[in-house]
């Protein structure tokens, strides 16, 4: 067996964003989109490892928001829908960012992103146009005639899908208040500032849930969802010191919101929003009711009254969570024999693979045995098989893509029907019999899964 020495030193600092961008491309998490044509601003394609993490993020969200609950159901609404939806929601009028141009270099900047009075591109001071509002919705034409009546929009959020289907879902599921409707899907915004890799892109994926409740219970539910959503990020293994809850000031609130708290992450460039938890009041149902002429109320069988429920909305972005996981999990360590190794300390549930099966070499007796062992494992765990290059390099590769465990098949395996399981973080190795392999892997992965605090242990 190749022996490795345990780590003696590890960097505490966050990696530079370029380090993450380069790792993402080199290992197949995220590629620049249309790279062979020189790329396309703020567009990215996800590679074989990136799609695995995204799928895990979506599944873990769906699991905790829909499948494990009695009070929430899911839907999938159309991306392009009747433009009147965006009139009613307020997006046509007020979904905009204040835009200014630098008079010296013509750079276009979001006024609310300006720090001080200097142009971030050329450094000129106080030389800007007046701010004007720039609508963020991406427009398209539907049908064969290109006139104004054919204008439609790519949805800028998934939330409206839930509001316009409130009546349908309520009638078909017969849910009583409080209940929620959840959706995962792509949204589009013609963002002006798109730096920081996949943190802000024009096409991105959202996971949103609209929780309808009695108005008098809405503050309580807002506080419940703040805690519950924070717990979910602990489950993903994001370090608690890198997470915080921040309440919006009155002037910061979106047009629909009567109170919003953001779950924020500490990045190198400052704290940034990971998820917004908004109290939307009765804004959306009332708007759609008056614009459509359909009554969107809930009949309360206890009081015999029709009420307009209030809404609490946790809204998260899949791409931003993926970026956060890569940054948060990234470590460079110096081992006792002076080598540096890069390790992504991802929680097993969000690692692209839970386990790698590695024969010690491409020896003709080891390879078929290793493949047989892989066949035992793969129905139960997300796994990879790799026999290219030296075992040391293959360990490094698995460390770098965050695989928590590796099963090594060596010459002793042929005699003792046992394999070695190597731990990514401690590099410790234990020997386990092949007939107990899945049980051993499951136990070890459970030990590596982050502890999630109970609701009453969370202070926000």
The C-alpha atoms of residue 278 and residue 299 are separated, in whole angstroms, by 24
Q: How far is the CB of 142 from ligand ATP (least distance, A)?
A: 23
Please identify, using beta-carbon distances, which residue of 194 and 286 lies nearer to ligand ATP.
Answer: 194
**CA triplet 321, 322, 324: central angle to 5 degrees?**
65
Q: How far is the CB of 415 from ligand ATP (least distance, A)?
A: 53
The region, left, alpha or beta by phi > 0 then psi within -120 to 50, assigned to residue 301 is alpha
Please identify, using beta-carbon distances, which residue of 206 and 408 lies nearer to ligand ATP.
Answer: 206
Q: How far is the CB of 223 from ligand ATP (least distance, A)?
A: 18
Q: How far is the CB of 90 from ligand ATP (least distance, A)?
A: 13
Q: How far is the CB of 349 from ligand ATP (least distance, A)?
A: 19
Please identify, using beta-carbon distances, which residue of 101 and 273 lies nearer to ligand ATP.
Answer: 273
Please identify, using beta-carbon distances, which residue of 261 and 440 lies nearer to ligand ATP.
Answer: 261
Q: How far is the CB of 229 from ligand ATP (least distance, A)?
A: 11
The C-alpha atoms of residue 458 and residue 164 are separated, in whole angstroms, by 34
DSSP 98: E
Half-sphere exposure for 215 (CA within 13 Å, toward CB)? 10
Q: How far is the CB of 347 from ligand ATP (least distance, A)?
A: 19
Q: Say if strands 405-409 and 355-359 run parallel, antiparallel, or are unpaired.
A: parallel
296-301, long-range: CB within 8 Å, 24+ apart, which pairs? 296/163, 296/166, 296/167, 298/170, 298/177, 298/212, 300/177, 301/176
- DSSP-derived 3-state class of residue 436: helix
Please identify, using beta-carbon distances, which residue of 59 and 252 lies nearer to ligand ATP.
Answer: 252
Please identify, using beta-carbon distances, which residue of 163 and 204 lies nearer to ligand ATP.
Answer: 204
Q: How far is the CB of 319 from ligand ATP (least distance, A)?
A: 5
User: In the sheet where 418-423 sits, what is the strand order?
Assistant: 383-385, 355-359, 405-409, 418-423, 429-433
The C-alpha atoms of residue 245 and residue 46 are separated, in whole angstroms, by 29
In sign, the C-alpha dihedral spanning 158, 160, 164, 166 is positive
Contact by Cβ (8 Å): 182, 66: yes
Residue position matching structure tokens 């890799």: 197
Please identify, using beta-carbon distances, which residue of 326 and 419 lies nearer to ligand ATP.
Answer: 326
Please identify, using beta-carbon distances, which residue of 276 and 348 lies nearer to ligand ATP.
Answer: 276
Backbone dihedral angles phi then psi of residue 274, each to the nearest 5 degrees = -105, -35
- DSSP-derived 3-state class of residue 24: helix
Q: Where are the alpha helices (DSSP H) in 244-339?
A: 283-292, 318-329
Please identify, using beta-carbon distances, which residue of 40 and 411 lies nearer to ligand ATP.
Answer: 40
Please identify, using beta-carbon distances, which residue of 252 and 447 lies nearer to ligand ATP.
Answer: 252
Q: Where are the alpha helices (DSSP H) in 332-407?
A: 366-377, 391-401
Please identify, using beta-carbon distances, which residue of 206 and 384 lies nearer to ligand ATP.
Answer: 206
Residue position matching structure tokens 């110096």: 334
DSSP 228: H
Q: How far is the CB of 227 from ligand ATP (least distance, A)?
A: 17
Q: How far is the CB of 173 from ligand ATP (least distance, A)?
A: 25
Please identify, using beta-carbon distances, which residue of 118 and 194 lies nearer to ligand ATP.
Answer: 194
Q: Exposure of 417 by Cβ count < 10 A (0-12 exposed, 13-18 middle, 19+ buried)?
A: exposed
Q: How far is the CB of 320 from ligand ATP (least distance, A)?
A: 4
Q: At what angle do helices 218-235 and 48-62 cross, to 10 degrees?
A: 140
Which residues are near ligand ATP by CB under 6 A? 157, 189, 191, 200-201, 204, 206, 273-276, 315-317, 319-320
The C-alpha atoms of residue 217 and residue 206 are separated, in whole angstroms, by 26
Q: How far is the CB of 97 from ligand ATP (least distance, A)?
A: 8
Tell me which residue has its CB nearest to ligand ATP: 317
């Amino acid at each position: 067996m190749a022996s490795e020495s345990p780590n003696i030193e590890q960097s505490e600092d966050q990696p530079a964003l370029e380090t993450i961008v380069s790792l993402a491309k080199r290992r197949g998490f995220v590629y620049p989109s249309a790279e062979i044509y020189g790329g396309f601003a703020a567009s990215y394609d996800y590679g074989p490892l990136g799609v695995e993490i995204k799928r895990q993020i979506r599944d873990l969200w769906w699991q905790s928001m829909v499948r494990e609950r009695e009070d929430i159901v899911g839907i999938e609404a159309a991306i392009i829908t009747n433009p009147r939806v965006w009139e009613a929601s307020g997006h046509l009028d007020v979904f905009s960012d204040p835009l200014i141009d630098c008079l010296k270099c013509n750079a276009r900047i979001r006024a609310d992103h300006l720090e001080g009075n200097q142009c971030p591109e050329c450094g000129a001071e106080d030389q800007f146009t007046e701010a004007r509002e720039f609508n963020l919705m991406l427009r398209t034409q539907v049908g064969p005639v290109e006139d104004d009546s054919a204008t439609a929009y790519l949805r800028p959020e998934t939330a409206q899908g839930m509001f316009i289907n409130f009546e349908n879902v309520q009638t078909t599921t017969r849910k009583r208040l409080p209940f929620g409707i959840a959706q995962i899907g792509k949204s589009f915004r013609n963002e002006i500032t798109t730096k920081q890799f996949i943190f802000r892109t024009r096409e991105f994926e959202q996971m949103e849930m609209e929780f309808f409740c009695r108005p008098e219970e809405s503050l309580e539910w807002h506080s419940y969802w703040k805690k519950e959503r924070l717990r979910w990020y602990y489950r993903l293994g994001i370090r608690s010191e890198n997470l915080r809850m921040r309440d919006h000031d009155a002037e910061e609130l979106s047009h629909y919101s009567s109170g919003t708290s953001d779950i924020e992450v500490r990045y190198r460039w400052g704290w940034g929003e990971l998820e917004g938890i908004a109290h939307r009041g009765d804004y959306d149902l009332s708007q759609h009711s008056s614009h459509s002429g359909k009554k969107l109320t809930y009949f309360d069988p206890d009081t015999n009254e029709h009420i307009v429920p209030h809404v609490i909305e946790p809204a998260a972005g899949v791409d931003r969570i993926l970026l956060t996981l890569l940054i948060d999990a990234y470590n460079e360590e110096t081992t006792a024999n002076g080598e540096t190794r890069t390790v992504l300390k991802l929680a097993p549930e969000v690692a692209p693979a839970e386990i790698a099966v590695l024969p010690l070499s491409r020896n003709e007796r080891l390879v078929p045995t290793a493949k047989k062992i892989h066949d035992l494992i793969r129905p139960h765990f997300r796994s990879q098989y790799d026999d290219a290059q030296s075992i040391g390099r293959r360990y490094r590769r698995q460390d770098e893509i965050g695989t928590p465990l590796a099963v090594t098949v060596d010459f002793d395996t042929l005699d003792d029907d046992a394999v070695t399981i190597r731990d990514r973080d401690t590099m410790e190795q234990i020997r386990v019999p092949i007939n107990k392999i899945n049980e051993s892997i499951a136990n070890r992965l459970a030990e590596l899964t982050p502890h999630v605090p109970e609701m009453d242990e969370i202070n926000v």
